[in-house]
Structure 1
Amino acid sequence: MESVELIAVGPRSSTVPVSFEITDGEEAGLRMKFSGRDWQSFTASNLFRCLLSARAELEAEQLLLCCQGARPDVFPSGMQQQMENGRYAAVLSGSVGEEEVVDIFASAEPSQVTSVEAQRVAVYHFFNLPLSDTGGDA
């Protein structure tokens, strides 16, 4: 199990420390603790999907998590989700050449991150896909 400390940014640029425990095994798992609350657990097919669920919980408290996985231009390919358990993701750019890959749990500046829904919309636009009204994962 790996521990990661990040921050979340809230209204009026207030910051809240957020602790994570990452389990990268057959079933991906993530535990999150913030603001004196009990640990919350998330399991999914890969770590990126666990992170999406954790971010949704933070967003319910008007907090955006400041990590690379919360950037609107970051999304793991299908191969990254399977082979790397969603821990690493590509930075989506129109440039031809070498692909930049980031650790989704690496910290990011507050100005670089967005909500789960805004990230989904950005990914759909990047790949020129029609947006559905159902929302959900990016």
Structure 2
Amino acid sequence: MDSVQLPAAGPRSSVVPVSFEIDDRDGAVLRMKAPGGDWRSFSGSNLFTCLLSARTDLEKEGLLLCCQGARPDVFPSGMQQQMDNGRFATVLARAAGETEVVDIFDVAEPSQVTSVEGQRVAVYRFFGLPLSGAGADA
């Protein structure tokens, strides 16, 4: 089990530390604790889906998690979700031959991250998928 602490950006440029315990020994479970809060658990098919759930929870509190997995240009391939249990993801780039893979739990700058919905819209646009009917107000 890995433990990491990541910053979360809040209103008026405030930053709070959020603790995580990452367990991918048997499936995928992510435990999260924000300052003053209790531990919350998120389970899913892989770590990236667990991270999406944790980010959604933080967004309800007005916080954006500052990690590589919250960048609008980062998304795991199907193979990464299966082979690495979603721990690593690809930086989406149009240039041929450029492939950068990041650990979704590495720190990112607040200016680099977006909401879960913002990331979803960016990924749909990158792959040229229609946003209508997919839950977005394009």
Tell me how far 1:101 sits from its aligned partner: 0.1
Amino acid at match of 2:4: V
Query: What residue ranges of structure 2 are gaps of 5+ in the alignment?
Result: none
1:100 and 2:111 equivalent?
no
Off by >3 Å, runs of 4+ in structure 1:
132-136
Q: How does 1:61-100 map to 2 (within 5 A)?
A: 61-100=61-100
Q: For residue 17 of structure 1, give the secondary structure of its aligned residue in structure 2.
A: strand
After superposition, the CA RMSD in angstroms is 1.2
Tell me how far 1:17 sits from its aligned partner: 0.5
Distance in structure 1 (CA, Å) of the matches to 2:37 and 2:80: 32
Amino acid at match of 1:4: V
Tell me how far 1:134 sits from its aligned partner: 4.3
- Alignment check: 8 A CA contact 1:46 1:81 kept: yes
Amino acid at match of 2:113: V
Aligned residues: 136
Amino acid at match of 1:118: G
Task: Return the TM-score normalized by structure 2.
Answer: 0.95
Query: What residue ranges of structure 1 are gaps of 5+ in the alignment?
Result: none
Tell me how far 1:131 sits from its aligned partner: 1.2
Structure 1 counterpart of 2:15: 15
Structure 2 counterpart of 1:35: 35
